[in-house]
Structure 1
Amino acid sequence: MRLRDRVVVVTGASSGIGRATAEAFARKGCAVVLAARREEALRAAAEECGRHRGARTLVVPTDVSDVKAVEDLARRAVEEFGRIDVWVNNAAVNAFGRFEDVPLEDFRKVLDVNVMGSVYGARAALPVMREQGSGTLINISSIVGAVAQPYSHPYGMSKHAVRALGSGLRQQLRVEGVKGIDVCTVLPATIDTPHFQQAANHTGHKVVAMPPVYTPERVAKAVVDLVRHPRREVVVGPAGRALVRQSRMAPALAERAMARQTDKTHLDHDEDAPATHGALHVPAPGEGAVHGGWGGRRRTALRRAALATALAGAAVTAGRRMARA
């Protein structure tokens, strides 16, 4: 089946990575089912998707922590388009704070959305894919699913669980001899989305995006590529790949590096912030957005320019050495 003929369900499609992913599939001519809690933001996202030639959309307001709502999402997708070829478990929330300071209701909400939301999504999508004999389930984890952080314990726990879910499902499909269904996990580094503004915050300080910051379009491209060429896991962002490699070779060193980086750059110690539940229990108002204003696109361009300059300098130096030889 051509990519443009696929039916794709994306949770958390109202902003950030989910919204960028929905538009990336729409750009390829796929039918896209957009799910999140905020109907206004979903309709704005669907309008953007609909501008691409051949794209069809369906908006289904969904709280992924509600199993009935997720089951209804799958049913609506099949009723509208006849099948589900790709399901992207992307919806996620976060709560920052010292372990003892995060209210238990916030802790539980993060786990309900990030972990059980992925469980409900997988349980809704896989029976459809089994019946049709094909499909791709993509779970969005994080580099903190490989190396946890201080100040975001529920999020780190949830992303480790999402990664474990993907591994377990791949093994189950293998031992059952199921062919044609792929389960893939994406581990993004820090991404320029509204995620940090919408997180619960009990640190006493403003939460900022921990550099280096990458664009959500970069993650969306990785997700689309997985449908074409499925892989077990994909890490998005060179800094993320370096950290994951370090976690395998020297886990204690990776923990120390993450602790130091998080404490120094994930919290603005010069700016206090009142305690807030963020958008955990009540969705943020408005039409949503792909980017969070953290300069992901600009910073990526600057890193590439710096790399190009360094490579050019190295080439000149090498040329001079050869000339002297």
Structure 2
Amino acid sequence: MRVRDSVVVITGASSGIGRATAVAFARKGCPVVLASRRAEALEAVRQECERHRGAEALVVPTDVTDPGAVDDLARRAVHRFGRIDVWVNCAAVTVFGPFEEVPLEDFRKVMDVNVMGYVHGARAALRVMREQGRGTLINVSSVVGLVSQPYTHAYGMSKYAVRALSSSLRQELRLDGAKDIHVCTVLPATIDTPLFEHAANYSGRKPLAMPPVYSPERVARTIVGLVRAPRREVVAGPMGRSMVLESRLMPGVAERTMARQVDRTHLSREESAPAGHGNLHVPAPGTGAAHGGWGGRRRTAMRRLTAATVLAGVVAGVARRARTH
């Protein structure tokens, strides 16, 4: 599909990957429909998008847990632009904490946003795309949808579920002969977004972006690329690809490695944090941002070193396995 002039709906567009994706499509001259709970932040994104090539941007404040609101989002997109070529499900929240200490209401909220929000988005998008006979649905999952972590149980479960949803939809569309409707899944590694700052937290420790950290623009470029050349699943970030390979070849090693990494680098050993709901039930105030402040040359160097170390471990493990067979 041609990217330029495609009508693109993006949930979770007020910050992080969703915001970077909106700007990336706007730079390609695409009309973008911006959805999230935060009207003030969406207005800031609209202004940023419309600075690029005269792109049009429509703001539709939307709570993705409300199926009626998501249906209205699709209706307003079609009413304004006549069609929906691309729908990006990107709204997500998370909670940190030991399994037995996370309040069930917070656990359910993560699942409601990250799973049912995607269900609502997929149903609204596919209704339109089936009538058109074409379109691309892109679901943003995560590398933790393949390699689980401790202390983020609900988030990991939701990202596994997103992959399952995408796979099921692809199969159903194939059986229906809808060959021009594509469902793609993106699995980002750790991305420099405000997600960690906004997270609910019951760990007693401050959440940090676990290195290596990649920019949200990297994921946005991956999403734009899927419109040109749809793929089933694609990992964004070299370290993520190394983790996925390790998990498939040596799942036990991958689990032990992830556990150590989370304990050492994902939750601070120096800074404590009070328990709280984060942005689960009430949106964060302000105009939002694509970045969370986790970038920088130091982290770039660490990213390269860590990726090289893990990849070397994977290669060594494969070699050992080959020698034993």
Q: Normalising by structure 1, report the TM-score.
A: 0.92
Equivalent residue number for residue 94 of structure 1: 94
Which structure is larger by alpha-carbon Rg, 1 or 2? 1
Alpha-carbon offset, residue 5 of structure 1: 1.4
SS across alignment from 1:9: strand
SS across alignment from 1:262: helix
Is the contact made by 2:213 and 2:303 (CA closer than 8 Å) also made in structure 1? no
CA separation in 2, counterparts of 1:121 and 1:39? Answer: 19
Alpha-carbon offset, residue 299 of structure 1: 3.1
Alpha-carbon offset, residue 18 of structure 1: 0.2
Is the contact made by 2:212 and 2:303 (CA closer than 8 Å) also made in structure 1? no
Is the contact made by 1:192 and 1:296 (CA closer than 8 Å) also made in structure 2? no
Aligned pairs for 1:247-266 (under 5 A) are 247-266=247-266
RMSD: 1.6
Is the contact made by 2:149 and 2:259 (CA closer than 8 Å) also made in structure 1? yes
Q: Give identity over the alignment, percent.
A: 73
CA separation in 2, counterparts of 1:306 and 1:37? Answer: 36
Structure 1, gaps ≥5 residues long: 308-325
Equivalent residue number for residue 141 of structure 2: 141
Equivalent residue number for residue 240 of structure 1: 240
CA separation in 2, counterparts of 1:299 and 1:50? Answer: 32
Q: Deviations along 1:163-208, whole A, 9 cap, x unmatched? A: 1101111111111211100000000000000000000000001110
CA separation in 1, counterparts of 2:50 and 2:191? Answer: 25
Is the contact made by 1:86 and 1:135 (CA closer than 8 Å) also made in structure 2? yes
Q: Deviations along 1:114-135, whole A, 9 cap, x unmatched? A: 0000000000000100110110
SS across alignment from 2:264: helix
1:216 partnered with 2:220: no
Equivalent residue number for residue 50 of structure 2: 50
Count of aligned positions: 307
Alpha-carbon offset, residue 287 of structure 1: 0.2
Provide closer, same or farther for how the CA distance between residues 109 and 303 of structure 1 changes in structure 2, counting only shifts above 3 A. Answer: closer
SS across alignment from 1:193: coil
Deviates more, 1:107-116 or 1:243-252: 243-252
SS across alignment from 2:246: helix
Equivalent residue number for residue 226 of structure 1: 226
Equivalent residue number for residue 115 of structure 2: 115
CA separation in 2, counterparts of 1:214 and 1:277? Answer: 26
Is the contact made by 1:98 and 1:151 (CA closer than 8 Å) also made in structure 2? yes
CA separation in 1, counterparts of 2:298 and 2:35? Answer: 29
Is the contact made by 1:62 and 1:70 (CA closer than 8 Å) also made in structure 2? yes
SS across alignment from 2:100: coil
CA separation in 2, counterparts of 1:269 and 1:247? Answer: 26
Equivalent residue number for residue 284 of structure 2: 284
Equivalent residue number for residue 270 of structure 1: 270
Provide closer, same or farther for how the CA distance between residues 297 and 155 of structure 1 changes in structure 2, counting only shifts above 3 A. Answer: farther
CA separation in 2, counterparts of 1:305 and 1:235? Answer: 19
Equivalent residue number for residue 35 of structure 1: 35
Structure 1 letter corresponding to 2:240 = G
SS across alignment from 1:3: coil
Q: Deviations along 1:97-128, whole A, 9 cap, x unmatched? A: 00001000000000000000000000000010
Alpha-carbon offset, residue 251 of structure 1: 1.0
CA separation in 2, counterparts of 1:121 and 1:296? Answer: 34
CA separation in 1, counterparts of 2:41 and 2:301? Answer: 28
Structure 2, gaps ≥5 residues long: 308-325
Provide closer, same or farther for how the CA distance between residues 287 and 222 of structure 1 changes in structure 2, counting only shifts above 3 A. Answer: same
Q: Normalising by structure 2, report the TM-score.
A: 0.92
CA separation in 2, counterparts of 1:302 and 1:100? Answer: 33
CA separation in 2, counterparts of 1:31 and 1:86? Answer: 11
CA separation in 1, counterparts of 2:296 and 2:215? Answer: 5
CA separation in 2, counterparts of 1:297 and 1:127? Answer: 45
CA separation in 1, counterparts of 2:306 and 2:259? Answer: 27
CA separation in 1, counterparts of 2:47 and 2:41? Answer: 10
